[in-house]
Each structure stands twice: as C-alpha cells, then as structure tokens.
Amino acid sequence: MQLVLNALAQHARLQPDATALLTPAARISYAELEHRVSSLATHLQAEGIPGPVAWLADNDADWVVLDLALASAGVAGVPLPPFFSEAQRQHVLADSGAACLVTPAAGGMLLPGTGLSLQHLPANSRAAALPSGTVKLTYTSGTTGAPKGVCLSGAQLDATVGALHEAIGPLAVTQHLCLMPLAVLLENLAGLYLPLLRGVPVELVPLADLGMAVFPPDVPRFIAALQASLADSAILLPSTLQWLVAATQAGQLSKPWRFLAVGGGRSGSRTLAQAAALSLPVFEGYGLSEAGSVVALNRTGAHRPGTVGRPLPHVVVQLAADGEVLVGGNTMLGYLGQGPAPTLIATGDLGEFDADGFLTLLGRKKNTIVTGMGRNVSPEWLEAEFGAVPGIRQALVYGDEAQGLHGLFYSAEPMAANQALAQCNAQLPSYARLEGWTLLATPLSPAQGEITPNGRLCRERILANRLPALYGDAP
C-alpha cells in the first residue's frame, strides 16, 4: 500500500488543488484527501484501535478515507460487500475476529473527518490469527453461504497496482467511474488505487443511484448514470457490458470512452463483436482475489478479443496437464486459518495459451459437461453466447451424456426470446447445440441462493430449486 500512499502524498504536494474524488455532494482535492487520511490514521494510532477493522459503507469519500487510513496506520481492514446477506456478514465478522465495526450508523465513536462511527465488537477467541503483514482481508463471494477470507499484504496490493500502471501505459484516461462496490477487490485496486496512483479523478456514485442496490438491477437507471457522468473509464462485468452495448446501439448512450475493462466472467463473442463494431474500447481481463486481483489483461498494442490478454509481469501463469490455470508470483498470504498459500494457486479455471501468449479461458474445471459424443463442453461458454441474445437476462446450461445439453433462461421479453434463442443455437457447432430449453417465469434470485448478488450462478441450487417444479424430478 506504500506505493499508493506515497503517490497520494506526492499529488497533494505537487498538485494540491487537483481533483482526487468526485461525489454527488463534493469535489475533494488531493490536499484534502491526504489531510483526511493522515488525520484519521493518526487518530486510529492514538486511540490504539485494534485490528482487524470491518466496515460497511456505500461508494463515497468516507469509504476511501477509512480504507487508506487503515493501511497508513498499519491496521488490517475487512471491507464488507454490501451485497452480502446478513448471515454472510455475521460469518465474516466472526471468522475474521473483527475487533471493530465501522458503519454510517450513529451510536459509536465518530471517526474524525468522516460521517462514520466505530463500534467495538466482543472478542472472539476462536478466530484464527491473521498472517503477519496482512493489510487487507477480503472475502470471496463464492457460490456458497460461507465466504473465505483471503489475506493480502500491502506489497501484494502494490504489485498489482504497479503492474496495471505499466500495462495501461500512456492511455490518457481523464476520469474513472466506479460501477462496482469498492469492497470488491477489483474495483478497490483498479478503480480506486490505480487512478490515485496515476493522478486521475475517481467518480463515486451511490449504488442506489447506479440502479445497483436492488435485484434485479435497474438497467435504465444504470444507463442514465453512465450518460450523466463525464468519466471515460469504467470496469464492467459481462452483464453490465451487455447493457452498455445495447444502450449504445439504441442511441440511449453516447460517450467518448477511452478504457472499458471487463472481468468477473466470460463475455459472449456476440457482445464483443457488437462492441468492436461500435468502436468501444473494451479490454477483457482475468484475475482472482487470491493473486491480488488482476492477473492478465488486454491492453493497447496487445489486444486479442476473446482472450483475457497476456499475463501481467508481476505474476506467473502456467497450465496443469489437464489445462487448469495455475497462478503464482503474487499470491496471497493464505486463506484465514488455513496456513500459508501454495507457490502456485490452482484456480479451478480451464484455459489455453495461443502462440503469442494470449490466455483464453474455457470454463470452470468442475462444471465441464461431457456429451454423449464424448465432447467436453464448458457451460460458461454457452451461457455467455446465449446471455448476449437480446432480451435474455439470465442463462444456465446443464446436461450430461444421457440427456444432452439443455438451458434455463430468464427473459423480460418471452415472446421474442424463443426465436432469438433458436437463431443463436443454430449458429453454434453441432456438438454444442442445446436439445431444448425452458424460459423461467421468475428470475434467478439471490434470496433463494440461486445466484450471488454479483452475478455468479449457484448451479446445484438452481437445478435443485427449478427442475423439480418444471419437470417433476431432479436432473
């Protein structure tokens, strides 16, 4: 974290009045941000605030000030994603042994320079000790109800940010808009730390104003927020990329973007082709929290659509004999309570390199479907293709040797969906075509444990919940 903190201090000295953060309520200069961070860090040290400190807040300046102040004071931080359920939050607090919880709610000790208050939590003697050097404890959302704590050092975070800085090079982004919660490590590092390092203003908008505080998300509100922003950089998920592309095609969104990074899953070839036809600067990447977030990225001068780019120089990426992606070189200190991390982390993702070193992800190792003809098919590939069909909001592909490939889809426009799905299906290789599909009457729901709030499918739960109701038995 020293790289980012030093950059903040340098910007405060050399361009004190330049904009560091933009919120609906205020413009915060580098001088003001540095002052607030250093003042709060001094306060935390003077008060002897123990770590780890967990916090839950919206995307705003207070979140940023606390995050940087904790790192400056040497206190381990545990950001709580707003999309975690109450049960998941309680699990994180207990598992991490958080000594304090910071929220916007009144009732605790007001933290100076913020609207946040701190409450001390009861000691948990059963919580595992943090590995030495842990600056941030980030919890993976996963597909189960009990997130795992990933312990990261300041040096590991700095390594990712520094590698991204070099990879982006002279790209002249003028303002970055945060579209994911700052508690998501990707947005925290690439959407906050990287712009701060480069001296680029960061725009923070409340998640409700982005239409992202509800499920399903409010897509028109999301597009309106993008159109109202002056930012020319953003980080997208495959789903939000689809919204952006569709709105641009429809003339609802017209902006001179400079950099649109996409991660968190596989984007459909149709969506990528549409983005290219619109001259949208979309750059796919790949990463995992266990390796300090971003591992590979397409960039200017080294861009191959359909791949996640070449690995960044701060990591080592290899393929196991079965094609599983293995990542080393900037790995976590370890999962909390599970000992040190291995030299190479087995990601569970299947991939392949082309002759020029670009990495293509083929899907999740455990999700691979073997067809009756002996072909291995990644459901993620097909879900990305069908998910790019106009009107299709959610897609899941399942099957086996006996029943073939089938799909479950949710569409807001069911009358048109079947024809569009049939057209997409006909364009797939014969071995990967669906033998049938069902349009769901209701969307997959986080409340039912069918999908994580950041869009990851909980396959076993979906099939257990939906197939009996549809067909009278389980798959």
Segment 27-51, tens digit of pLDDT: 999 999 999 999 999 999 999 999 8
Lowest mean pLDDT among 132-141, 202-211, 276-285: 132-141
| Integer Cα distance of 338 and 451 in angstroms | 27
Distance CA 447, CA 465 (A): 12
pLDDT at residue 146 in the model: 73
HEC letters along 325-369: EEEECCCCCEECCCCCCCCEEEEEEEEEECCCCCEEEEEEHHHCE
3-state SS assignment for residue 23: coil
- pLDDT digits 0-9 by tens, 411-464: 988 888 999 999 999 988 888 899 999 999 999 988 788 887 667 888 988 999
Distance CA 69, CA 63 (A): 10
The sign of the dihedral angle between the CA atoms of 44, 45, 50, 52 is: positive
Over 182-246, what HEC string results? CCCHHHHHHHHHHHHHHCCCEECCCCCCCCCCCCCCCHHHHHHHHHHCCCCEEEECHHHHHHHHH
Q: Is the pLDDT of residue 471 over 80?
A: no
Q: Which helix (H) or strand (E) holds 176?
A: strand 176-177
pLDDT confidence tier of residue 176, bands split at 50, 70 and 90: very high
Percent of the chain with pLDDT over 90: 74
DSSP structure string for 423-437 = HHHHTS-GGG--SEE
- The residue with tokens 């040096």 is 155
Q: What is the DSSP letter of 451?
A: B
Q: pTM of the predicted model, to two decimals?
A: 0.87
